[in-house]
Amino acid sequence: MDLTQRPRRLRSDGIRPLVSETTLDASNLIAPVFVDATTETRQPIPSMPGHERVPVAEAVDRVEEIRETGVEAIILFGVPESKDAEGSRAWVEDGVVQRATRGITDATDAYVITDICLCEYTDHGHCGALEAGAREGAIQTVDNDATLSLLERIAVSHAEAGAEMVAPSGMIDGMVGAIREGLDDAGYEQVPIMSYAAKYESAFYGPFRDAADGAPAFGDRRHYQMDPANAREASREVALDVEQGADVLMVKPALPYLDVVSRVRREFDRPVAAYNVSGEYAMLHAAAEKGWLDLEAVAHESLLSIKRAGADLILTYFAEDIAHRL
């Protein structure tokens, strides 16, 4: 037996940390924050233990709690006071995200990223303007090109409120280019775009849709979000966003799509973000509640694996818990 090669030599406690290939740091993490214009008090989100929808008046406190753990970047999602067919509360100056952004950027040094999508603002819950006949079950649902100018307006209104980065999540063709043009025309050429470049039509978004009240009222999102069966197509999607000026490329969800994270890392010379989504968070919590998994250990291992696969940044509901122990 030839045992000149003994990988175990490098696994003693003394040397393990020196040969560790991947490290997690609080500076890699982005914490999602839900701001709710319909409530005066914090509302726990049952399927996402530890997370709440906070009223606008408490957005600053919520962000300060996150910053105390060492996490400096947040992504804001809003629940508006009312919804309509166009989603018009998404781009108004006194909208929920605009007010929260103004408060947070005035009072803290947090890095504020805003999610740009219409599904929380439309009464039908889809991520854009509807095509004629969509409610009656026509094949397509979202009118792609009519949605572009709306996304542009939302992005500019967020930048006006002080957003430092915008993150379009609707999987609308041309969304990055339209938003880039809108921001540049309005004088916000320094505001980067983190594109949800390869976002899949995933069943792992369930808890988020409860949290942000953004489930589609009819149909689903498979005509705009990607088919989970496709990885080569992710390269095409990402390439289009790079051409249109995306600064950071996101893959979503994270754990079931690590092959896509690693592919985007290999093929594109841009920072890669991965979104460890609500369902990924909820399932670890559920198993831990039953005593079947050690929550902190599996959360840490999950984030480390996402980083190892090639993500530079991780959007995660575990941000505070994990940053705490780093």
Q: Applying CB under 6 A, which of residues 277, 284, 303, 313 lies at the interface with ligand PBG?
A: 277
Give, as ranges, the residues between 187 and 206 that touch ligand PBG (CB under 6 A). Answer: 205
Strands (DSSP E) contained in the chain are 29-36, 43-44, 52-54, 73-79, 111-116, 165-168, 194-199, 248-252, 272-276, 313-316
Q: How far is CA 177 from CA 88, 148, 181, 213, 251, in A?
A: 21, 9, 6, 28, 18
Distance CA 46, CA 154 (A): 29
- Give the nearer residue to ligand PBG in terms of CB position, either 188 or 204: 204
Q: CA nearest 181: which of 159, 210, 214?
A: 159
Q: Is 161 in the site for ligand PBG (CB under 6 A)?
A: no
Amino acid letter, 175: M
Q: Applying CB under 6 A, which of residues 28, 122, 169, 235 lies at the interface with ligand PBG?
A: 169
Distance CA 262, CA 306 (A): 9
Please spell the DSSP secondary structure of 214-228, one letter per residue.
---SSS-STTTSBPT
SS3 category, 152? helix
Q: Which residue is nearest to ligand PBG (CB)?
A: 208
Minimal distance, residue 169 CB to ligand PBG, in Å? 4
Total binding residues toward ligand PBG, as defined by CB under 6 A: 12
Q: Applying CB under 6 A, which of residues 209, 223, 300, 324 lies at the interface with ligand PBG?
A: 209
Q: Is 117 in the site for ligand PBG (CB under 6 A)?
A: yes
Q: Is 307 part of the annotated catalytic residue set?
A: no
Q: Is 208 in the site for ligand PBG (CB under 6 A)?
A: yes
Q: Which of 83, 199, 290, 307 is catalytic?
A: 199
Q: Is 52 in the site for ligand PBG (CB under 6 A)?
A: no
Q: Is 127 in the site for ligand PBG (CB under 6 A)?
A: yes
Beta bridge partners of 167: 115
Q: Is 290 part of the annotated catalytic residue set?
A: no
- Give the nearer residue to ligand PBG in terms of CB position, either 127 or 246: 127
Read off the tokens for 156.
């500019």
Catalytic residue annotation: 199, 252
Binding site for ligand PBG (CB under 6 A): 115, 117, 119, 127, 169-170, 205, 208-209, 214, 277-278
